[in-house]
Amino acid sequence: MKYELDRIDVALMEALQKDGRASNKELAGKVGLAPSTTHGRVRRLQSTGVVRGVHADIAPEALGIGLQALVFIRLRSHTREQVSDAWAQLSALPEVVAAWYVGGDDDIVLHVAVRDTHHLRDLALDGLSARADVDRIRTELIFQHHRSPPPLYR
């Protein structure tokens, strides 16, 4: 999906990445446009799917999450239907924060957030390894992570 973005669009996206709660008036001041024009630009970026949303960054500990992990999953079979079904079911698990369908030794990588090691063990044994379509799982604990927005190439 390719979009025609000009320097104003890029400046708006940069401003929104830095502060998703910025008012329309503040955004207009940053990009040098009238508030009404800025509002129209932001709405277009949203309606075309370029700006997919603004999200709150919640402290996991506030939700009782004490442990996060990456779970690497290899599937037994790789027909389009089986991969699609596994993807839909695995990525919808309540513990899944993010999911990737990848190439290489593994097929699916899940970022999971759980209460503790017992919760992770139960998820691994009951929610993942017990599935007939899962050949193997490998779990890596996350001690610390950093997330950045994607770079805005011009």
pLDDT digits (tens, 9 = 90+) for 33-80: 999 999 999 999 999 999 998 888 889 999 999 999 999 999 999 999
Helix (H, G, I), strand (E, B), or coil: what is residue 133?
coil
Q: What percent of the chain has pLDDT over 90?
A: 86
60-142: CATH number:
3.30.70.920
Fold of 7-47: Arc Repressor Mutant, subunit A (1.10.10)
Domain boundaries, the chain: 7-47, 60-142
Q: What is the pLDDT of residue 152?
A: 81
- Output the pLDDT for position 150: 83
Amino acid occupying residue 26: E
Q: Tell me the mean pLDDT in the region 110-137.
A: 97
Residue 104: its pLDDT value, please? Answer: 94
Q: How far apart are CA 61 and CA 114, in angstroms?
A: 10
What's the pTM value of the predicted model, to 2 decimals? 0.81
What backbone phi and psi angles, to 5 degrees, belong to 102? -125, 165
Determine the average pLDDT of the residues in 79-95.
96
> Is residue 87 scored above 70 in pLDDT?
yes
Whether 112 contacts 71, CB under 8 Å: yes
In the prediction, which pLDDT does 98 show?
Answer: 96
**Residue 154: what pLDDT?**
59
Do the domains at 7-47 and 60-142 have one common CATH topology?
no
Q: Which residues contact 3 (CB under 8 A, 6 or more apart)?
A: 48, 50
